[in-house]
Structure 1
Amino acid sequence: MAKQILVVDDNPVVLKLVSEVLKKKGHSVRTAEDGLIAINILDGYLPDIIFVDLLIPKINGEMLCKFIRSKPYLDNTYVIIFSGIVTEVGVDLHSLGADAFIAKGKNSTDHIQTVLEKIENKTLRQFETMNYGFEDVFPRDATVGLLNYKKHLEVIIDNLSDGLIELTPEGIILFTNPAAEALLSISQKQLLGRNFCTFFQKEYHKYSLELLKNAPQGHRQMNESKPMPLKERFVTLKVFSIKDGPHTICIALIHDVTEHKQLHEKLKLLSKTDLLTGVYNRRAFDEFFVKETNIVRRYKEPFSIILIDIDKFKDINDSLGHNIGDDVLREAVKVFNLQIRQVDFLFRWGGDEFVILLPKTDIEGAQIIAERIRSAIETYKFPVPTSVTVSLGVSLFQLNDDIHTLVKRADDAVYQSKTDGRNRVSVLLP
């Protein structure tokens, strides 16, 4: 009965020879020059038999066999390894899921015919002998040495802490080590033939593809990419390319920088945060001010600030101690946060002074929030025997303002509140 057969070999002479032998027997034959082409063919093709050479470009024969056996729809497909390194490689056929191993040699066509007959009779998998033609070839010392060196490198690559991926300049995955599989949370068999760039968020697709296309060739790559999100982690890439015969192959080293980035972000946040109260500090105010002024100039929307000073705070520190004073500051922050909106930002300006930045808020709106804060502080039960009040100053940003002029008006308004008896809100217009 005629069979659908796929032959995978990078030697055009072998492809032609095997194809002609099979076609003369009435079989339908398709061919592939490398493992990647074979995977693409198998995406829409169900062969009865696959002949696979071990030394093929892009995705080697061992990986291709493992890929085939990972696909349930190919369970009934016979896999025949047809290779010239059968005596040197020492491959465990069972681990690859191969049904037979034919050595390339003078009697290859006879062995192919024997295997085909056993497949037709459904007896191939019943025989203990899976190797055909071994008596016609002898191990070559140079090949054995190269294969042993290859295994040595495989052990190193498999134990790298960084992910390593071999891929085409277009991003198609040809090989992954265990660390890369762990980062991508997908097995190697499922990764082969997929596009690596698509594992990144959409905005990083173009950037990652440019890294591959511009990969320097041959020499050691020292430059890392910018951190990119990958499967809830952050990674950087080092990419270089090598020539594999007529093909260019890219190697990407994936370094997990999640902890480093998290530490960096934490330190960055700490540099903008007041350690005592947990709110933003004065340095952070500078950044927020620049962002808000740009919004005002672009969209013509107002913003205001409220400067708050705790009345007679020095007396609290002097009479009750700095620890109690610190408690008062922390409690005051709780009250401030309860009275402001989610869009507002609270900063510790220094000592017992705080600033609230109010986006999209005119002077009347800022006055309402300031009065709400004043009243809430006045009625709050602080951990001190005396009452605690605040004096507040409100200032509206003007297009010719900088930080100093805006805050100066709010500070003058606070001074006015204190002069008028404290525990009140004052507004100074330019």
Structure 2
Amino acid sequence: MKTILVVDNHPVVLKLLVEFLKRMGHEVISAEDGLAALEILKKVTPDIVFTDLIMPNISGEKLCQVIRSRPELKEVHIIIYSSTMLEDEAHILSLGAAACIAKGPFKNTEAHIAQVIEHIDNGTLPALQGKILGGEDLYKRHITSELLCSKRHYEIIFNSMPEGVMEFTLEGKIFHANAAAMGLCGLQEENLLASSFFDLFTGEHRERVRALLHSPGQDPVIIDDTAPILLNGKMITIHFLPSQDEEHTFIIAIMRDLTEKITAARELELLRHQQERILNTVSEGIFGLDQENHVTFVNPAALAMLGYEPHDLAALGNKLHEIVHYHKPDGRAYPLTDCPIHATGQDGIVRKGTETFWRKNGESFPVRYTATPIQEDYEITGTVVTFADITERKKMEEKLRESAMTDELTSLFNRRGFMTLADKLIKISVRDKNDLLLVYVDFDNLKWINDTLGHSVGDQALIEAATLLQDTFRLADIVARLGGDEFVILCTDNSALGNERNILIRLNETIEKTNRMTNRQYPLSLSVGVGRFEHLSPCSIDDLLRQADQAMYKNKGEKKTLHLDGYKH
């Protein structure tokens, strides 16, 4: 005697098959569809399963796939008993069934059923593999073939949808799920089918779904993106669509994963808050301007430096030029057309330099500024202006000049002036957590000029080099002559960091332009080395000079090797 599960949605066929197997002395359990069969298989492991293929809810095809995927059911013999054998022969034989019986006249079918069980008893069931018993009693039906093809096409579309789709009974039993739904749940199909839709959720989320579907009407029920629900660690929306066929009422759930969207929105909001905190805590003043120079944003540091209260600029909309450029330091009018900050909003060119700004109380003060255009889709939509009060620096520079810390020949800072100023700037860099860039320059072959052309020409060559360096670097940079043929430049703006190559290219272009001038007695050639002061691992100014000096000598050696210093060797 064997335990046999019979699955068929046709009540007459089911009754005939059950009674026949019982007369043969077997214990028989029946199920009206695949969903009911899966519920039985949770409690009972039969020896044989007879199943039809075309059934509502979970089909026989899906039932076969689930049985074959569960290790505890691997010894169960599956016998397909269907009337669509001839129309779908190739597919049916691939479902892993032990035998296939065509559903024809039941008197003919009885012999085939008995034959299959006899083979099972004798251990010769493999002899029936690939055969369809009773196929000779049937003929192919064209319309059935078309319907089966349409069903396969539907399944392909269903499993290709990006949205997760599930179908379940009013009691919550899942009988259909596409690939996206399995991915959202993190479950394989064999574990998902016949399980409870409500059990996919936990805690308050489960109760929320139960309450929404407590008495489903005809209208859709929606969990939208304003209050998404948690499923398997993902935030999702669900559209519940009540549906009905001729015999059953069920619910279709269409699920969309909002996790990435919500995560991105949260990260964007966090980034916005972080940017606001940065803008509100930096020591430099920051203005945001539209294309017409109207103020759209101002940070606390800018308000403090200009002596305004937040409510003074609450309306914003004021033109920055009218706020900070009352007039020039000498009292003359300052036309808007002369304003470099306004020009950046017109032509999109980044501008840096020093300016005089005016406070609300009428006092002026020197600033170092950078005006950067805002561009969207290649159109200028505004300008960001950053500025710092350099009053202390100006006073320091004046004090150095008063202390005769300049080089007499070139009017640059001398070694003493540079070392004094550089030491203070390094301390400020550490305090403000900024890095500095130091450029070390050596005038190539100055001895040759002095020996060949005379020291007066040599002095003029040094003055020419000093002027060239001042023209190449920004007004805010510290340019000094350390002595003899050695110069040094300390770049104090972070914009120089990472732009070393561009700085050197600009310097070389200036040198080449100078050498193209006619009637020159000597070619101008400078060897250059760069050192970087890092506030996270600070060093002394002497160490920084040594670092740049070594880089300079490397450059000088390379130029001599390649004969690029402008002289014949």
TM range (shorter): 0.5 to 0.7
Q: Answer yes or no: is the 8 Å Cα contact 1:173–1:195 preserved in 2.
A: yes
Offset at residue 78 of structure 1 (A): 0.6
Q: TM-score when scaled to structure 2?
A: 0.48
Q: Is the 8 A contact 1:167 1:175 kept in 2?
A: yes
Alignment of 1:164-313 (within 5 A): 164-213=165-214, 215=216, 217=218, 223-225=222-224, 226-269=227-270, 275=276, 277=278, 313=305
Assess if the C-alpha contact under 8 Å between 1:160 and 1:179 holds in 2.
yes
| Deviation at residue 198 of structure 1 after TM alignment | 2.2
Write the distance in 2 (CA, Å) between the matches of 1:138 and 1:20: 27
Q: Paired residue for 1:159?
A: 160
- Higher-RCO chain (CA-CA 8 Å, sequence separation at least 6): 1
- Distance (whole Å) between structure 2 residues aligned to residue 239 and residue 157 of structure 1: 17
Change in Cα spacing, 1:265 to 1:7, as seen in structure 2 (3 Å) is same
How far does the alpha carbon of each residue in 1:211-251 deviate from its partner, in whole angstroms, 9 at most, with x for none?
Answer: 4455554x8x5955341122232211111122233321211
Return closer, same or farther for 1:278/1:81 CA change in 2, 3 Å cut-off: farther
Whether the aligned pair in 2 keeps the contact of 1:235 and 1:257 (CA below 8 Å) is yes
* Residues 325 and 172 of structure 1: CA distance in aligned 2, closer, same or farther (over 3 Å): farther
Q: What is the rounded CA distance, in whole Å, between the counterparts of 1:66 and 1:278 in structure 2?
A: 60
C-alpha distance in structure 2 between counterparts of 1:91 and 1:258, whole Å: 42
User: Hey, what's the Cα distance between the residues in 2 that align with 1:33 and 1:216?
Assistant: 26
Q: CA separation of 1:382/1:172 partners in 2, compared to 1, >3 Å: closer, same or farther?
A: same
Counterpart Cα distance in 2 of 1:152 and 1:215: 30
1:135 matched to which residue of 2? 136
Q: Supply the AA of the counterpart residue of 2:141.
A: R
SS at match of 2:18: helix
Tell me which residue corresponds to 1:52.
Answer: 51
- Within a 5 Å distance, the mapping from 1:20-59 to structure 2 comes to 20-59=19-58
The structure-2 alpha-carbon separation of the partners of 1:261 and 1:11, relative to structure 1 and needing over 3 Å to count, comes to same
1:348-367 residue pairs with structure 2 within 5 A? none
Q: Any idea what SS the aligned residue of 1:88 has?
A: coil
Which residue in 2 is equivalent to 1:426? none
Q: Give the deviation of 1:266 after TM superposition.
A: 4.0
C-alpha separation between the residues in 2 aligned to 1:242 and 1:163? 17
* 1:128-163 deviation digits (Å, cap 9, x = unpaired): 443111111122233222222212211111111111
2:245 maps to a residue whose letter is D
Partner of 1:124: 125
For 1:39, give the aligned amino acid.
L
Residues 249/279 of structure 1: CA separation in 2 closer, same or farther (3 Å cut): farther
CA distance in 1, matches of 2:280, 2:267: 14
Q: Aligned pair count? A: 301
Separation in structure 1 between the aligned mates of residue 145 and residue 214 of structure 2, nearest angstrom:
35
Does the residue aligned with 1:96 lie in a helix, a strand or coil?
coil
8 A contact 1:93–1:100 mirrored in 2: no
SS in 1 for 2:86: helix
Q: Which residue of 1 aligns with 2:538?
A: none
Q: 2:210 & 2:146 partners in 1: Cα distance?
A: 36
SS at match of 1:54: coil
Aligned mates of 1:279, 1:122 — CA distance in 2: 83
Distance 2:72 2:272 in 1: 57
Q: Distance in 2 between matches of 1:95 and 1:207?
A: 42
Aligned Cα RMSD in Å? Answer: 3.1
Q: Do the aligned partners of residues 245 and 210 (structure 1) sit closer, same or farther apart at CA in structure 2, a change above 3 Å counting? A: farther
**SS of structure 1 residue aligned to 2:150:** helix
Cα distance in 2 between the residues matched to 1:278 and 1:63: 60
Whichever of the two has the greater Rg, that structure is 2
- Aligned amino acid, residue 230 of structure 2: P
- 1:108 CA drift (Å): 1.0
Alignment gaps of 5+ in structure 2? 282-299, 308-355, 358-364, 370-385, 390-429, 435-569
Quick one: distance in 2 between partners of 1:272 and 1:214? 44
**CA deviation after TM superposition for structure 1 residue 9, in Å:** 0.9
TM-score if structure 1 supplies the norm length?
0.63
Superposed displacement of residue 210, structure 1: 3.8
Amino acid at match of 2:252: I
Distance 1:254 1:20, change over 3 A: same
Aligned residue runs from structure 1 range 340-419, under 5 A:
381-382=431-432
SS at match of 2:236: strand
Letter in 2 for 1:152: H
